[in-house]
């Protein structure tokens, strides 16, 4: 089975995920993602007694027309009991809110919201809600009991499913989401644990709308908070950008991918590593993983898991029609097709001459822009810039944007002091010389091409390298990095406000590897600020004035610029990536750095 938090493979018989230490549930995974532990009692006997007492309270609340038989699961905020409806001769799954949480208005509201959401979605492939109730501090929700197992249980047992069965489940869940989306409901937590498979028929039923959002935008998570299960979250959920029904389409595509491949398209040793891969890479096309997948089905799945929401299938209704073979999919292309339609921009001597001209014009423009009007000031001593570096004059710069990534909003002014920043990313050869001089470990077994950017270097190692390489050497702050990347005209990209697929070494270039430094130059003579490899900065992930980031963002350091495998939609000068400073080398294969120093007249 796979961890529901980080997607890592979990060995049989362990109680915790070896990668992220999340508890491994021994109950139906559709109920919740983290275990509810009865409070006030120690040991299994005490916890069992508390569960039994809660069941007795539920029995008293329901009355003599119902029989509470046993607890069948407990999760992050609730316990689920199997209940017999004696009047209608049916089985119910009754979810009871943990008494420890009833003081939280948010949790109670979320509990009620789930009932209200499902109540308006009457569909053959959605687990129906029959009623809700409250008795003092006891809140409960009665749903149909589905005899069978979750899709997660099935995948844990069998690894992957036959193509025909996976297609049917894919189509049935898509039809359930189609109704939800037409009613303005976004599920936001599509995953195998939330898909139940009926025992006798194999029918798929979607459940757990606990973090759903309605079309009116109402939801029960903090502003800027990332919600969902990492292995199935869309890139826009990871980055905190606006989420719509296309995030459900992405997650559904990941589920379909897992049914056919035996694992999600992305896994990681930690949740952070998994989320990092999610926003910096595209999934391997499903037919490369499972050649038995027919091309039409592969086209649908690849169209669901496109990194850019604009490239995805436009609706779950289209998925249903495509899988039924009635109509073609609208608004989607395969990953391969999208790549073939993006051609690198040719380079020529004319372009090289134009760069020289622009450097001169923009350099003059920058100095004019940063010089206040008034009497001519005295001539100051020149700023001394170390060899291999480019001067970034001090002044007021605009950082961030009012559109695009949520974490990069809003646009705001910052003042930076003059600095010099390295013309290229630190190379393998430069790092090898440093390691030979200091005895520092090298991040390779066999030394790569010396002219490639060095990668797999932790934040602390990058910091120490810069401090030794230059007097006062350090990593640039993210504000300094963005000022250098956007230049005096404060462009969206280092070259202009217009994207140029193929110009930097990003996903559209289709190299799928770092290149020697010096691949793409901006007007100031800096190379590869977009693409090639991400670059560490010295700044923690903190919100901009009036903006939002992850609730625990301060534990991460910002990375900038994108890499060879970064979707072009994310490869912008203002885009803020982030990684923990202690991330292991195996997850830093596309992250490097460049150094900076503060400069002043005379050195």
pLDDT tens digits along 156-192:
999 999 999 999 999 999 999 999 999 888 888 899 9
pLDDT tens for each residue of 268-296: 665 556 666 766 777 889 999 999 999 99
Range of weakest confidence among 72-76, 115-119, 492-496:
492-496
Question: Is the pLDDT assigned to residue 314 strictly greater than 80?
Answer: yes
The pLDDT-based confidence of 107 (bands split at 50, 70, 90) is low
Lowest mean pLDDT among 140-149, 169-178, 438-447, 495-504: 495-504
Residue 399 has pLDDT above 60, yes or no: yes
Confidence at residue 250, expressed as pLDDT on a 0 to 100 scale? 95
Q: Look over the chain and give the mean of its residue pLDDT values, rounded to a whole number.
A: 77
Q: Where do the domains of the chain lie, and which CATH numbers do they carry? A: 43-144 (3.30.200.20), 149-340 (1.10.510.10), 349-598 (3.90.1580.10)
The model's confidence at residue 104, banded by pLDDT at 50, 70 and 90, is: low
Strand 596-598 to 419-422 pairing: antiparallel
What pLDDT does residue 97 have? 80
Whole-number Å distance between alpha carbons of 431 and 593: 11
Answer whether 125's CB lies under 8 Å from 205's CB: yes
- Select from 284, 141, 145, 287 the least CA-distant residue to 210: 141
Nearest to 588 by CA among 346, 270, 140: 270
Residue 127 has pLDDT above 60, yes or no: yes
Task: Tell which wins on pLDDT, 288 or 21.
Answer: 288
Contacts of 41 (CB under 8 A, 6+ apart): 47, 49, 50
Residues 30, 193 contacting (CB under 8 angstroms): yes
**Alpha carbons 286 and 280: distance in angstroms, whole number:** 18
How far apart CA 593 and CA 150 sit, in angstroms, is 44
Among the ranges given (54-63, 533-542, 563-572), the one the predictor scored with the smallest mean pLDDT: 563-572
Quickly tell me which residue has 């089985």 as its tokens. 91
pTM of the model: 0.52
- Lookup result for tokens 């073609």: 328
For residue 336, pLDDT beyond 80: no
**Is the model's pLDDT at 300 over the cut of 80?**
yes
Q: d(Cα 248, Cα 238) in Å, to the nearest integer?
A: 13
Q: How far is CA 438 from CA 197, 388, 469, 473, 586, in A?
A: 59, 21, 11, 16, 23
Q: What is the mean pLDDT of residues 524-547?
A: 91
Which pLDDT band, with edges at 50, 70 and 90, does 207 fall under?
confident
Q: Look at 547 and 385; give whichever has higher pLDDT.
A: 547
SS (H, E, C) 157-168: HHCCCCHHHHHH
Q: What is the 3-state secondary structure (H, E, C) of 348-360?
A: CHHHHHHHHHHHH
Tell me what pLDDT residue 235 has.
84
User: For 83-87, 273-277, 449-453, 559-563, which range has the lowest pLDDT when averaged over its residues?
Assistant: 273-277
Q: Could you tell me which residue, 498 or 79, shows the higher pLDDT?
A: 79
* Dist CA 213 CA 113 (whole Å): 9
């Amino acid at each position: 089975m796979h961890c529901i938090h980080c997607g890592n493979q979990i060995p049989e018989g362990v109680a915790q995920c070896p990668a992220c230490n999340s508890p491994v549930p021994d109950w139906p995974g559709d109920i919740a993602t983290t275990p509810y532990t009865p409070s006030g009692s120690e040991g299994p006997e005490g916890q069992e007694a508390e569960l039994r007492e809660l069941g007795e309270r539920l029995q008293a609340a329901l009355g003599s027309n119902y029989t509470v038989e046993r607890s069948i699961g407990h999760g992050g905020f609730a316990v689920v009991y199997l209940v017999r409806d004696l009047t209608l001769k049916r089985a119910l799954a009754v979810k009871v809110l943990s008494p420890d949480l009833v003081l939280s208005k948010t949790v109670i509201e979320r509990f009620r919201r789930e009932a209200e959401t499902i109540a308006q979605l009457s569909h053959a492939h959605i687990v129906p809600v029959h009623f809700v109730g409250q008795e003092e501090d006891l809140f409960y929700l009665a749903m149909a009991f589905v005899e069978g197992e979750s899709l997660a249980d099935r995948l844990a047992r069998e690894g992957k499913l036959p193509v025909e069965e996976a297609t049917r489940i894919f189509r049935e869940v898509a039809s359930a989401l189609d109704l939800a989306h037409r009613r303005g409901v976004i599920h936001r937590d599509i995953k195998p644990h939330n898909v139940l498979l009926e025992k006798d028929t194999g029918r798929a039923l979607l459940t757990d709308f606990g973090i759903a959002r309605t079309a009116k935008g109402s939801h029960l998570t903090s502003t800027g908070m990332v919600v969902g299960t990492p292995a199935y979250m869309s890139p826009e959920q990871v980055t905190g950008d606006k989420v719509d029904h296309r995030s459900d389409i992405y997650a559904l595509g990941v589920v379909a991918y897992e049914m056919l491949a035996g694992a999600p398209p992305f896994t990681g040793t930690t949740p952070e590593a998994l989320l990092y891969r999610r926003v910096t890479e595209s999934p391997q096309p499903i037919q490369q993983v499972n050649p038995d997948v027919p091309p039409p089905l592969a086209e649908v799945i690849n169209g669901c898991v496109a990194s850019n929401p604009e490239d995805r299938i436009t609706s779950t209704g289209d998925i249903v029609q495509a899988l039924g073979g009635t109509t073609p999919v609208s608004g989607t292309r395969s990953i391969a097709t999208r790549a073939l339609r993006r051609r690198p921009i040719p380079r020529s001597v004319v372009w090289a001459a134009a760069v020289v001209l622009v450097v001169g014009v923009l350099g003059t423009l920058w100095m004019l822009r940063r010089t206040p009007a008034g009497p001519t000031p005295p001539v100051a001593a020149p700023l001394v810039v170390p060899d291999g570096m480019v001067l970034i004059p001090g002044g007021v710069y605009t950082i961030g944007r009012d559109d695009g990534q949520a974490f990069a909003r809003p646009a705001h002014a910052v003042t930076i002091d003059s600095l010099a920043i390295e013309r290229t990313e630190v190379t393998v050869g430069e790092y090898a010389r440093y390691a030979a001089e200091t005895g520092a470990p090298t991040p390779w077994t066999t030394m790569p091409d010396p002219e490639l950017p060095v990668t797999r270097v932790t934040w602390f190692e990058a910091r120490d390298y810069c401090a030794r390489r230059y007097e006062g050497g350090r990593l640039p702050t993210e504000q300094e990095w963005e000022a250098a990347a956007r230049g005096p005209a404060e462009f969206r990209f280092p070259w202009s406000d217009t994207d140029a697929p193929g110009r930097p070494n990003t996903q559209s270039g289709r190299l799928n590897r770092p290149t020697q430094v010096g691949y793409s130059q901006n007007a100031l003579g800096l190379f590869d600020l977009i693409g090639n490899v991400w670059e560490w900065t010295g700044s923690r992930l903190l919100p901009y004035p009036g903006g939002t980031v992850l609730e625990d963002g301060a534990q991460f350091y910002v990375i900038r610029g994108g890499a060879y495998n970064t979707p072009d939609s994310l490869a912008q000068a203002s885009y803020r990536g982030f990684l923990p400073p202690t991330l292991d080398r195996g997850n830093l294969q596309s992250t490097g750095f460049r150094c900076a120093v503060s400069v002043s007249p005379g050195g």
